[in-house]
Amino acid sequence: MFDEPIKAGRRAPLYTAEQRARRDSSPWTLVQGVLAPLQFLVFAVSVFLVIRYLMTGEGLAIATASIVLKTFVLYAIMVTGAIWEKDVFGKYLFADAFFWEDAFSMIVIALHTFYLVMLLGGIGSPVLQLTVALAGYAAYVINAAQFIWKLRLARLETAHTQGAAA
């Protein structure tokens, strides 16, 4: 990120050839590929359950359980993502290519963890707790968009590299 060379108005590639090879051979790439859509599915169901509770007052227990599940899936994807980043870039977090995504992930984790602290500590009303969870979910949507953008850039780079080699 900070030491990426920029040539003629272009940014450095997301992956070097060696990093791309490590990414493609890492078992953690598949783990991330499975956990990311799983996390989104849990998120989508949870948003529905939380909004249902906020609108009707019904289903607090299932909404709460869904947020806790979403939080644990988030923790799993963050831990395995850090291991993936170490495999590919040689550091657990804040590799240049994913610096801003990792930085924003810390906000997502903080909000989800704050929700758990509120829940377990009996802090605030259920509505306040769910509001914190929804703030975490909003941050998650932004963070997911960051990662989807990087995935698209990586695919475009791969297509460009393969096209140039042909």
Average pLDDT of the residues in 44-70:
98
Q: Is 95 left (phi over 0), alpha (psi -120 to 50) or beta?
A: beta
Q: What is the pLDDT of residues 114-153, one digit of tens each?
A: 999 999 999 999 999 999 999 999 999 999 999 888 888 8
Residue 164 is predicted with a pLDDT of 56
User: Which residues are paired to 7 by β-bridges?
Assistant: 10
Answer yes or no: is 17 within a domain. Answer: no
**Nearest Cα residue to 145 out of 110, 107, 101, 103:** 101
Counting the structural domains of the chain, the total is: 1
Answer yes or no: is 33 within a domain. Answer: yes
152 lies in which domain range? 27-165
Please write down the HEC assignment for all residues of 32-81: HHHHHHHHHHHHHHHHHHHHHHHHHCCCHHHHHHHHHHHHHHHHHHHHHH
Answer yes or no: is 56 within a domain. Answer: yes
Answer yes or no: is 95 within a domain. Answer: yes
Answer yes or no: is 6 within a domain. Answer: no
